[in-house]
Amino acid sequence: MTIQAQPAPAPLDDAPSYWSIVWGQFRKRRLAYGSLWCGVTLFALAVVAPAVAGNKPFLWRVDAGPWQSPWFTSLFDRNFFESTLDIFFNCLLVPGVLALPACWWWWRRTHARARRPRVRARRRFMLMAGALWLLAFIAINAFATSSPKVLHPALAEQLRSEGHKVLAVYPPLPYSFRDVDLDQVRAPASGQHWLGTDDAGRDVMVRLLFGTRISLTVGIFAVLLYIVIGTVIGALSGYLGGWVDAVFMRLVEVVISIPSLFLILTVAAFIEQRSIFHIMFIIAAVSWTTPARLVRAEFLRLRNLDFVSAARAVGYSEAQIMFREMLPNALGPVLVTATFGVASSILVESTMSFLGLGDITVPSWGQVLNTGRTTGIWTMILAPGFAIFVTVSLLNLIGDGLRDALDPKMRA
Amino acid sequence: MLAYALKRLLMIPPTFFMVSLVIFVVLNLAPGRPGEQAQLSGEKAGTQQRESYRIFKEQFNLDKPVLFNTRFALTESEVKTLLENAYALRPATKTAQRLHAQNELEDTGTYLVRHLVSLLGQTPDVALARAITTQLVQAARRPLRLDAHDPNATVTNRTIAAQNAEFMNWTLPDSATDAEVHTTAVRWQNWWQRNHEDFEYEGKKLRLLFSDTRFYKYWSNVLHFDFGQSTLDRRPVMPTIVSKLRYSLSLTLLSVLLAYLIAIPLGVWSAVRQNTRADTAMTVTLFVLYSLPTFFVGTVFLRFFTEGDPVAWFPAGDFESYDADRMTTLQRLRDVAWHLVLPIAAYTLGSLAALSRYARTGLVDVIRADYIRTARAKGVHEFVVIVKHAARNGMIPILTLLGSLLPVLVSGSVIIEVIFNIPGMGLYLYDAINLRDYNAVMGVLMMASVLTLFGILLSDLSYALADPRITFD
C-alpha cells in the first residue's frame, strides 16, 4: 500500500515515503514477516479450496462422449456453492490463477525501470485490475447459473454398473463440505477421511478447509466495515470538536458499556436465518468504537500541526483537509488495530458458531468444534481449535510486528 | 479528585439510560414476538388461542409500539380497511393479510373505539356491523389492574369486570336483522355518549406519543425496580438474575484476582531477565496462551480432564455437586473449589497472557529510568529496587487494563458457563435468547451494563489514585 503524505509536489526520487520506511522496518522483523507470508498462504488455501476438495470431477467423460469439466462449471453454480461468499472466492480463484502470469510478466517488464514510474504504473495497473475483477464478480454473482444437483461419484457408480466406461478425475479430497456419508458417521481418522467424519458423516478435513473461507472473510470484511465507520466518526469528532465530538463520544461510551459478546449473541439470536453477512454487520456494529477513539486522538494531535494550517491557508475544503491531508497521517495505528481486529473478529465469529448462534449453513470452525464438544471425538476438538489458534496467532504476530515497525522508538 | 469521582458517578445514570434505550430498540426491532409461533401456527389458531395470546401481549406490553405511539392519528378509512381484511369481508383476502390485520386491530386497542362507534352508526352492511361490534367488545374492554402498587385494585377490578361482561351482550349474532343492528348501534352510541372522554385524544397527543409505548412502560416499571416477568415461567426477572449473579461474579472476580496475582510477578520476572532466553521463552508461551480461544481451552479441559479419557481428575461441569446442600461448610467449599478449577483456569488463561505482557512492558519502560539508576547507585538491594521502586510505577498501566478487561470477562462468562454448565448469568442469558424471553434478556443486559459501568469507573478512579501525576481538575 502506498499512500503519500503530501500529494502536491513530487518528492525527491531517493526520499523514501513513510510507508516504504514502515515496510522496510516490518521486513526486518522476521517472525512478523514470516507470519505475513503464512497468512497469505492461508488466504491462498482458502481461494484454492475447491481445487483441493470437492465432489465435482475436474474431467468427466462417459464412454467416448465429450470431455466435460463439471468442476469448472460448478464454480459459478448457485445450486452447488450456495453462498455469495463461495462465489466470491471462486471468482478470486479463476481470474487469480489466470492473472498470475500476467502480473509476473508486468513485474518483469517494469522492474528494470526507474522507481517512480514503476510505482505509479503498478498502482494504475492494480486499480484497473481490481475494478475489472469487481465488475466481473458482480456480474457473475448476479447471473450465477444454477444447474440441477448431480452427485458425480454416485452417478459414476451407477453408469459403471450399467456397463459404461466412465473416466473421472477428482480433486485430492473427493468430498464436498456437505456431502453426507451415512456409512461413515463418526468415523475415526483414516486414509479415506484424514480427520474422520462428524455426526452427520461429513468429512471434517474438508469442512475445516472451507471454514478458512468463512473465518477470513468474516474477519476481514467485518474489520473493513468497522474501520471505515470508526475512522469517519473519529475523524469528524476529532477535527470538528464541539457538540459533534460530545455526541459521538457519549455514543462511544454507551456502546462500550454494553458487554459486547452479550449484545452480539443477543442480536444474532433474534435474527431469523442469519447469514455470515449478518454476523459481519453485527460485529462491526459493536466494534467501531476502538478505531473511532484512536482516530479521534490522532486528529486531536494533528489538527494543531503546521501542515494542517498550511492546507487551510491554501484554501482546501474541510473534507479535503480531513481525509486527504490528515487521514493518511493517522492511518498507522488504525492499521495495527485492524490487524488485531481481524484476529478478534475471527474469534467472535467462531465463538458465535460454537454457541450455535452463527450461520448454520456454512462449515465454520466453531461449528465443527461444537460438534466435537457434543460428540466427544477428540480430533474434532483439536483440529478446528488448532486452525483457529494458528490463524489468530499469525494475525497477532503480524499486528505486533506492524506496531513495532510503526514505532519510531523501536526502529533498528 | 472527589469532584472528578462525583462527576463520573453522575454520568452513570444518563449513560445507563442510553444503554437501555439502545438495547431496547435492538431487541424490539427484531422480527417475531415471543410466543407468536407457538400460539398462532397458521390456520389452526382458534378464537380461544387468539384470545389467550392477546392477553399475553397485553400483560407484557407487547401490543404497544416500541418508542413512539402515533396510533391516535389513525383515520376511519384505515380502520375500515383493517376490519375488512381481518374479517375477510372482501373475497380475495390472503391469509397472511388477514392475520396481519387481526394483529394490528388487537394491538391498536382503545384507539379504535372512536372510529368503530362512528363506523357502526353509518354502516348499512350487517357483516361489517358484526365485525365492528366484535372488535368493539375487544377494544373498549379495559384490562384488569394487575399492579401491586394500587391498594384499591380489587374494587376497581370489580367495576371493570362488570362493564366488560356487559359488552359481551352488545354483539350481533350471525343472523342479525337490520333492526337488531340498529338497536345495538344505539346501545353503543349511548355508552359512547357517557364515556367518550376516555377515548378523545385532543390535547393529550404529545404525552401519548411517548408515554403509551413499550419503552415508557418498561422504564416506569424499572424505576420501581420492577424489571418485568419472564415470559416463560412468569416469575420476576430481577430476583432470578441476582441469584445467578453469585455464580458469575465468583467466577469473574476470582479469575481477575488470579490473573493479576500471577501476571504481575510473571511480568516482573520476565522484565528483569529482559532479552534472555528465559524471557523469550516466557514471551512465546504467553503469546501462545493469548491466542488460544477460551471456548477451545474450555472444551479441551472438559474433554480430556473430566471424562476419564485419558484422565478424570475433575468433575465434568456444574458449580457444585448435586448433594452440596447436605455437606458441611468446609466440605462444600472444597466441593465448589474442585468444580471451579477448570472453568477458572480456562477463563484466566487469556487475560493472564494479556496482563503479563502489559506488566512486562510497563516495567521495562520504568527500569531504564534515572531514579532506578539512582536507587542502585545508593546501594539499595536489587530486590527492593525492583519491587519497591520500579514495580510500583511500572504496574500503573495494567491498572487501566482492568477497565477494558471487565466487559470482556463479563461477556466471556457466557462461554464458560455454557461449556461447564454453571447456572450463572451467562447461561441464563443464553437460554433466554434462545427462547426469546425478552424481559430476561433485557434484565441480564442491563445488569451486565451496570456491572461494566461501575467496573470502568472503579478502574479509572484507581488509576487516578495510583498515579499522583494525574489530576482531573
The ipTM, to two decimals, is: 0.87
Q: Smallest Cβ distance to A260: which of B294, B411, B415?
A: B411
The Cα of B52 is separated from the nearest Cα of chain A by a number of Å equal to 24
Residues of B in contact with A253 (CB under 8 A): 15
CB pair distance less than 8 Å for B410 and A259: yes
Mean per-residue pLDDT, B302-309: 85
Q: Smallest Cβ distance to A257: which of B293, B299, B449?
A: B449
Instruction: Using alpha carbons, select from B247, B250, B302 the residue that is nearest to residue B427.
Output: B247
| Contact by Cβ (8 Å): A195, A380 | yes
CB pair distance less than 8 Å for A381 and B445: no
Cell of B5: 469521582
Looking at residue A14, its pLDDT comes to 62
Tell me the three state secondary structure of residue A169: strand
Q: Smallest Cβ distance to A381: which of B18, B303, B414?
A: B303
Looking at residue B32, its pLDDT comes to 60
Tell me: the pLDDT tens digits for A52-90? Answer: 888 888 888 888 888 888 888 888 888 888 888 888 888
- Residue A111 pLDDT grade (very low, low, confident, very high; cuts 50, 70, 90): low
Report d(CA A52, CA A248) in Å as an integer.
48
Q: Smallest Cβ distance to B15: which of A257, A347, A393?
A: A257
CB pair distance less than 8 Å for B27 and A266: yes
Strand pairing partners for A226? none
Mean per-residue pLDDT, B65-72: 81
| Contact by Cβ (8 Å): A284, A225 | yes
Q: Which residues contact B156 (CB under 8 A, 6 or more apart)?
A: B145, B150
Looking at residue B180, its pLDDT comes to 78
Q: Interhelix angle for A378-406 vs B294-305, to 10°?
A: 150
Please give the span between the terminal C-alpha atoms of chain A, in angstroms, as a whole number: 22
Please give the residue of chain B at the shortest CA–CA distance from A395: B291
Q: Model's pTM, two decimal places?
A: 0.85
The interface residues of chain B toward chain A in range 153-192, judged by CB-CB distance below 8 A, are: none
Report d(CA B120, CA B129) in Å as an integer.
6
Report d(CA B465, CA B396) in Å as an integer.
10
Q: Smallest Cβ distance to B452: which of A259, A378, A393?
A: A259
CA-only gyration radius of chain A, Å = 25
Give me the total of CB pairs closer than 8 Å, taking one residue from chain A and one from chain B. 132
SS (H, E, C) chain B: CHHHHHHHHHHHHHHHHHHHHHHHHHHHHCCCCCCHHHHCCHHHCCHHHHHHHHHHHHHCCCCCCCCCCCHHHCCHHHHHHHHHHHCCCCCCCCHHHHHHHHHHHHHHHHHHHHHHHHHHHHCCCHHHHHHHHHHHHHHHCCCCCCCCCCCCHHHHHHHHHHHHHHHHHHCCCCCCCHHHHHHHHHHHHHHHHHHHHHHCCCCCHHHHHHHCCHHHHHHHHHCCCCCCECCCCCCEHHHHHHHHHHHHHHHHHHHHHHHHHHHHHHHHHHHHCCCCHHHHHHHHHHHHHHHCCHHHHHHHHHHHHCCCCCCCCCCCCCCCCCCHHHCCHHHHHHHHHHHHHHHHHHHHHHHHHHHHHHHHHHHHHHHCCHHHHHHHHHCCCHHHHHHHHHHHHHCHHHHHHHHHHHHHHHHHHHHHHHHHCCCCHHHHHHHHHHCCCHHHHHHHHHHHHHHHHHHHHHHHHHHHHHCCCCCCC
Report d(CA B257, CA B259) in Å as an integer.
5
| Contact by Cβ (8 Å): A409, A346 | no
Report d(CA B282, CA B267) in Å as an integer.
9
Tell me: the pLDDT tens digits for B114-144? Answer: 788 888 777 777 778 878 888 878 777 776 7
| Contact by Cβ (8 Å): B172, B184 | yes
Q: How far is CA B237 from CA B71, B147, B228, B437, B446, in A?
A: 30, 16, 6, 10, 12
Mutation target among B245, B252, B275, B299 for the A interface, most CBs of A within 10 A? B299
**Which residue is associated with the grid cell 377494544?**
B139
Please give the residue of chain A at the shortest CA–CA distance from B15: A254
Report d(CA A218, CA B450) in Å as an integer.
30
Q: Smallest Cβ distance to A389: which of B22, B296, B302?
A: B296
Report d(CA A239, CA A327) in Å as an integer.
11
Mean pLDDT over all residues of chain A?
Answer: 86
The interface residues of chain A toward chain B in range 316-355, judged by CB-CB distance below 8 A, are: 343, 347, 350-351, 354-355
Tell me: the pLDDT tens digits for B380-414? Answer: 888 888 888 888 888 887 877 777 777 777 888 89
CB pair distance less than 8 Å for B407 and A257: yes
Q: Which residue has the higher pLDDT, A106 or B365?
A: B365
Q: Smallest Cβ distance to B453: which of A257, A369, A382?
A: A257
pLDDT at B472 over 80: no
Tell me: the pLDDT tens digits for A374-389? Answer: 888 888 999 999 999 9
Among the residue ranges A344-358, A393-407, B307-321, the one predicted with the least confidence is B307-321
Is B245 near chain A, with CB under 8 Å? no
Mean pLDDT over all residues of chain B?
Answer: 82
CB pair distance less than 8 Å for B303 and A373: yes
Residues of A in contact with B357 (CB under 8 A): none
| Contact by Cβ (8 Å): A400, A39 | no
pLDDT at B45 over 70: no
pLDDT at A8 over 60: no
- Residue B150 pLDDT grade (very low, low, confident, very high; cuts 50, 70, 90): low
Helix (H) or strand (E) holding A62: strand A59-62
Residues of B in contact with A258 (CB under 8 A): 19, 22-23, 445, 448-449, 452
pLDDT at B8 over 90: no
Residues of A in contact with B33 (CB under 8 A): none
CB pair distance less than 8 Å for B300 and A385: yes
Residues of A in contact with B293 (CB under 8 A): 347, 350-351, 385, 388-389, 392
CB pair distance less than 8 Å for A270 and B296: no
Please state, for a pLDDT cut of 90, what percent of chain A lies above it. Answer: 33
Q: Residue A170: what residue type?
A: Y
**Which residue is associated with the grid cell 441469584?**
B243
Q: Residue B225: what residue type?
A: F
- Residue B98 pLDDT grade (very low, low, confident, very high; cuts 50, 70, 90): confident
Report d(CA B208, CA B200) in Å as an integer.
12
Note the Cα B261 to chain centre separation in Å.
32
- Residue A1 pLDDT grade (very low, low, confident, very high; cuts 50, 70, 90): very low
Q: Which residue has the higher pLDDT, A69 or A108?
A: A69
Tell me: the pLDDT tens digits for A142-189? Answer: 887 788 888 888 888 898 898 888 888 888 888 888 877 777 788 888
Is B405 near chain A, with CB under 8 Å? no
- Residue A12 pLDDT grade (very low, low, confident, very high; cuts 50, 70, 90): low
Q: How many CB atoms lie within 10 A of CB B70?
A: 11
Q: Smallest Cβ distance to B411: which of A259, A272, A393?
A: A259
pLDDT at B258 over 60: yes
Looking at residue B33, its pLDDT comes to 61
Mean per-residue pLDDT, B182-205: 78
Residues of A in contact with B17 (CB under 8 A): none
Mutation target among B295, B439, B447 for the A interface, most CBs of A within 10 A? B295
Please state, for a pLDDT cut of 70, what percent of chain B lies above it. Answer: 93
Report d(CA A52, CA A205) in Å as an integer.
11
Q: Which residue has the higher pLDDT, B352 or B470?
A: B352
CB pair distance less than 8 Å for B444 and A389: no
Tell me: the pLDDT tens digits for A189-242? Answer: 887 888 888 888 888 899 999 999 999 999 999 999 999 999 999 999 999 988
- Residue A294 pLDDT grade (very low, low, confident, very high; cuts 50, 70, 90): very high
Determine the Cα angle at B110 with ends B105 and B113, to 5°. 85
The Cα of A392 is separated from the nearest Cα of chain B by a number of Å equal to 6
